[in-house]
Structure 1
Amino acid sequence: MDYALPTSAQLPNFELDLIETPSPLNPLGAKGIGESGTIGAPPTIVNAALDALAPWGSKLLICR
């Protein structure tokens, strides 16, 4: 309770602009961004599986 979230009255005013910069690398000018949200999923699943198997002595083996 000592560190409350700021309210809208405590935030400054924001001015937003839209600047379009198409990619010169393809005919549509599109840029890829769809995969960025999936970067954390595989390590999360592996860590969840390791945590679930930890009571049976399972450990992560790193192959190099």
Structure 2
Amino acid sequence: INPPSGCRFRTRCWKATDKCASEAPPLVQVEGNKPGHLTACHYPETDETVPAPRLAKDPQPAA
């Protein structure tokens, strides 16, 4: 197995940035998660955050 550098999910994550490519995120407890539910993300979602809409970098017209 040859995972990508940095965050292993960055190649399929809509929130990925350059930081995700160069640094593996630490495993942390996020406020609002159940005890023991850990997250490894530089940009974890919390009760206070709402996911941004998924936008294409280079949108293509519909066929």
Structure with bigger strand share is 2
Same-fold call, TM > 0.5? no
- Over alpha carbons, which structure has the higher Rg? 1
Structure with bigger helix share is 1
Higher relative contact order (Cα pairs below 8 Å, separated by 6+ residues): 2
TM range (shorter): under 0.3
